[in-house]
Amino acid sequence: MPQRRNGNPPEEARSSSDKPINRLPALARETASTVGQKASDALSQASQKADDLAASLGGSMQSLAGNLRSAAPAQETLGQLASGVADALDRSGRFLQQEGVSGLTNELNHLIRRNPLSAVFIAVGFGFLLAQTRR
């Protein structure tokens, strides 16, 4: 039997699965799985917070719509305009409360697919405005 050094069996006596190099793939898989799970959890928490924020924003928009309706004159042109804006705020607020951020991104995605050229022009316009403000 081979002699032991420092109480450990010699390298020849160790099984191949005991060698640290052979455990690297399993350790890498475990680490990748752990990192993936933590990233998924963080993304889920961020998504939940974004949906909560969208619902809160939607409620605020609906409240603003109600305030606008009550403060607007009844029969004048300004009153009709205020009523239209209040209706748009109300619909948008309800949409945000019901659909959240994921619904908003899906709707935006469909809009861009239906109107790709307009989306490009709008993006270029925003880019131009952003560049002008950074000068």
CA angle, corner 129, sides to 100 and 117, nearest 5? Answer: 65
Tokens 């969208």, residue? 54
Predicted confidence (pLDDT) at residue 107 exceeds the cutoff of 80: yes
Domain assignment present for residue 62? The answer is yes
Q: Kindly tell me if the per-residue pLDDT of 74 is higher than 70.
A: yes
Q: What is the mean pLDDT of the chain?
A: 81
Whether 13 is in a domain gets the answer no
Confidence of residue 22 (pLDDT cuts 50, 70, 90): confident
pLDDT over 70, % of the chain: 87
In whole angstroms, give the CA distance from residue 115 to residue 61: 27
> Is residue 82 situated within a structural domain?
yes
**Number of separate domains in the chain:** 1
Q: Which of 111, 81, 13, 105 is nearest to 89 (CA)?
A: 81
Q: Does residue 129 surpass a pLDDT of 90?
A: yes
* 59 in any annotated domain: yes
Give the domain range for residue 95: 19-133
Q: Among candidates 91, 90, 71, which has minimal Cα distance to 82? A: 71
Mean pLDDT of 8-23: 61
Checking if the pLDDT of 6 tops 70, the result is no
Q: Is residue 23 part of a domain?
A: yes
**Nearest CA among 63, 54, 120, 115 for reference residue 86:** 63
* Helices 77-114 and 20-71, axial angle in degrees (round to 10): 160
Measured distance CA(134)–CA(126) in Å, rounded = 12
Domain-embedded: residue 1:
no
Residue 23 and residue 9: Cα distance in Å, rounded? 18
Q: Residue 27 corresponds to which tokens in the numbers above? A: 């350790």
What is this structure's pTM? 0.52
Tens of pLDDT, residue by residue over 77-103, are 877 888 888 898 888 888 888 888 888
